[in-house]
Amino acid sequence: MERDRILAWLRETDPTRLARLWHLADATRQKYVGGEVHLRGLIEFSNYCVRLCAYCGLRAPNSGLTRYRMSHDEIMACARQAVAYGFGTVVLQSGEDPGVTRDWLADLIRKIKTQTPLAVTLSVGERSEEDLRAWREAGADRYLLRFETSNQALYARLHPPRPGATSDRLAMLGRLRQMGYEVGSGVMIGIPGQSYEDLARDIVLFGELDLDMIGVGPYLVHPDTPLGDPSFRPVVADGDQVPADELTTYKVIALARLVCPRANIPSTTALATLNRTKGRELGLVRGANVLMPNLTPPQYRVLYEIYPNKACLRETAEGCFVCMRQRIAEIGRTVGVGPGPSASGRQRQPAAAE
C-alpha cells in the first residue's frame, strides 16, 4: 500500500469507511494466518535497564523503582506453566540489563528448549552481535526489537545512545534476520512529536522490513520520565500530532495486517489498558491474531512498570489465561496450538485496501 493511502486511512474519521478497513484487515488475517488466536506467555524477567529512554519507567535514572532479576528456577517455573496451559511460545522480556550476561541467557534458553516444547522469543533490547549469535545458537527462535519511530530526529531525542555507542535498530533487525531469527518490530502510537507522516512512513517500513511480528500500542505516559513533563514534549504542527488513542491503534493494527499479511500481530496490554472491557477483542477483529498472557509472578509484575496502571496488573497467571481463553471464545475464534504460524521463508503477497 502506498504511503499516501496509508496516510488517508490514518486521518479517516468516517465510521462507515473505517468499517470497510476493519473488514479488509479481518478478512486478510483470516486468509493468511487463519482464525486461531495464538497465546504467547510473557515473562518479564528483569526490570534493570541502563538506557535513558525518555518515555519508559524502567529507565536507569528512575530511583523510585525497586529492581529485580528473576532466577533460572523462577523463569523455568513460568515456562512450565506455559506448557501446562498449552502455550506454544514464551516471550522473555527485560530492560537492557547488562546483568543478563550472554552465558546466563544462553543457558536459560537451552533449559527451556531441552525441557519444554516451547518456542522462545527474546525482547531484551540492543545487544552485541556476539550475544545475539550465541542466543540463536542456544535455540532462541524469535527476536522482538521495536524501532519505535522512523523519524530519526525524534528517535534521537527519545532514545539517547549509550555512552560511546551508536543506536541503529534497523541495522540490528537486518543482522537478526541473517542469523536466522524470526524478526519482530513495531512502534509506539501517539508519542509526543510523532506526526501522521511519521506514522505512515513507519507502516510502510513494516512492509519493507518484511516483518514476521509487528507489535504496536498506544503511548501511555509515565510521570517519572522526561515525557511526563509537558515542557519536554516535542511539538509538531497544529493538527498533525498523532493521538495516543484507541481508534488510532486499531487503524495501525489493521494497516499493519494489510501491509504484512502473514505477520503475527498481537492485541496488546497497552491497548487493553485504554479499553479494559473490549480492547483486546476489538484488536483481534481488526487484524490481530496473538494475545500475550502474562506469566510473570505478581510480586514482580507490579515492578515492571514501563507505564503505570497496566491492565491485569495483579491477576494471577491462571486467571489471565482463563480470561483470555473466554474472550477468544466470545468473538467466535479458537485458541491456537503450538508456536503459531511462521512468516519466515514464505512468499508474501501484499494485500490492498481501497
Query: 188 phi and psi, to 5 degrees?
Result: -90, 150
Residue 352 confidence (pLDDT) = 41
* CA–CA distance, 80 with 87 (Å, rounded to integer): 10
Q: What is the pLDDT of residue 343?
A: 63
Q: Would you list the domain boundaries of the chain? A: 3-335
**Which pLDDT tens digits describe the chain residue by residue (354 residues)?**
899 999 999 999 999 999 999 999 999 999 999 999 999 999 999 999 999 999 999 999 999 999 999 999 999 999 999 999 999 999 999 999 999 999 999 999 999 999 999 999 999 999 999 999 999 999 999 999 999 999 999 999 999 988 777 789 999 999 999 999 999 999 999 999 999 999 999 999 999 999 999 999 999 999 999 999 988 888 898 899 999 999 999 999 999 999 999 999 999 999 999 999 999 999 999 999 999 999 999 999 999 999 999 888 878 888 888 889 999 999 999 999 877 766 654 433 333 444
141: its cell numbers: 527462535
Residue whose grid cell is 495501525: 252
- Report the SS3 class of residue 87: strand
Counting beta carbons within 10 angstroms of the beta carbon of residue 97, is it exposed (0 to 12), middle (13 to 18) or buried (19 or more)? buried
Residue 99's H or E segment, with its range, is none
Q: Are 52 and 61 in contact (CB under 8 A)?
A: yes
Fold of 3-335: TIM Barrel (3.20.20)
pLDDT of residue 344: 52
The phi, psi pair for 25, rounded to 5°, reads -65, -45
- Single-letter amino acid, residue 146: R
Provide the pLDDT for residue 348: 34
